Amino acid sequence: MEKEKIYEKALRDFINYITVEKGLSQNTIDSYRRDIIKYLNYIQDSEIKSLDNIKREVISKYLNSLRKKRYSSTTVARMVTSIRSFSKLLLREEYCSHNPASHIKIPSTKKILPKILSIAEVNFLLDFKDLITPLDFRNKAMLELMYASGVRVSELISLNVGDVDLEDGFLRCMGKGSKERIVPIGKSAIFYVRSYLEHSRGKLKPAFREYALFLNFRGKRLTRQGYWKIIKSRAKQVGLYNKVTPHILRHSFATHLIENGAEIRAVQEMLGHSDISTTQVYIHLSQSYLREIYDRLHPRAHLKR
């Protein structure tokens, strides 16, 4: 078999592996695919005769080339993760007799604290003065539900009507890796989602057997791009244009819970994080926020001579 065809088959096997066996999200799959295509192009350009001829030194040289091209440390770390996973698959499927990436370490990355909205800013965002059109009711319900639950935008737009229990105050969503979780929601979100369902969703003329909770003006499931436009438009209306994204609302949900005493394990469960270290960033963010508040408001926070 020609070398190029072997590489193509190896890539297909890898994508199948991370999709079916690992159950990774589509965004992660797409990222891994791009990473491995770049890696294989480098291998081919280096005139390495086969996958079995790849050595650790080759991978190290490739990673150094990325650094010289000023790829961020986060991107290089993800590349290493992709290559390590790909190399394991190659060994398992007998494309090669060794794993050259087994001792390649994932470089440490500088943790950047996520941006959040203050509680006052969230209130500005959610305080719709007038609810007139069906789209007004939909937008209000969506923003209330996102802040109430901390779900990702992909999870929000994937919700069906039957996924929200307005009696007991819970929603069921499918997170990364097709993992289902149950998240509580508060009375404000319950009230506005119920108002939307009772008075507005039907006016958007849902298509036959369209079970999506949130619809666009054509009566079909709202897209990620559609939601992005809605939240940016709303942010602009209340003077928060450059401060709001769907993920910032999720970050704000988590930080405000921790600031008010929520246990980190409970927040981890609600966010759907598989690793608690991912959730711990909100503790640091909360401490940073408290430091800022203290320095700004405490009468003796600064040295008086």
Residue tagged active-site, from 39, 147, 282, 289 = 282
Q: Are 99 and 87 in contact (CB under 8 A)?
A: yes
Residue tagged active-site, from 61, 205, 247, 284 = 247
Q: Is residue 234 among the annotated active site residues?
A: no
Q: Would you state the torsion angle of the CA atoms of residues 36, 39, 45, 49, taken in this order, to the nearest 10 degrees?
A: -80
Residue tagged active-site, from 172, 176, 220, 224 = 176
What DSSP character marks residue 24? -
Q: Please, which residues have CB within 8 angstroms of residue 60's CB and are 6 or more apart in sequence?
A: 104
Neighbours of 59 (CB within 10 A): 22
Q: Is residue 152 among the annotated active site residues?
A: yes
Q: Is residue 282 among the annotated active site residues?
A: yes
Q: Is residue 179 among the annotated active site residues?
A: no
Q: Is residue 69 among the annotated active site residues?
A: no
Beta-strand relationship, 170-174 and 180-184: antiparallel
Residue tagged active-site, from 84, 140, 250, 256 = 250
Instruction: Give 174-181's long-range contacts (Cβ < 8 A, gap of 24+).
Output: 175/272, 176/24, 176/25, 176/28, 176/272, 176/274, 177/22, 177/23, 177/24, 177/25, 177/274, 178/23, 179/272, 179/274, 181/269, 181/270, 181/272
Q: Is residue 194 among the annotated active site residues?
A: no
Residue tagged active-site, from 152, 234, 251, 256 = 152
Please give the positions annotated as active site: 152, 176, 247, 250, 273, 282
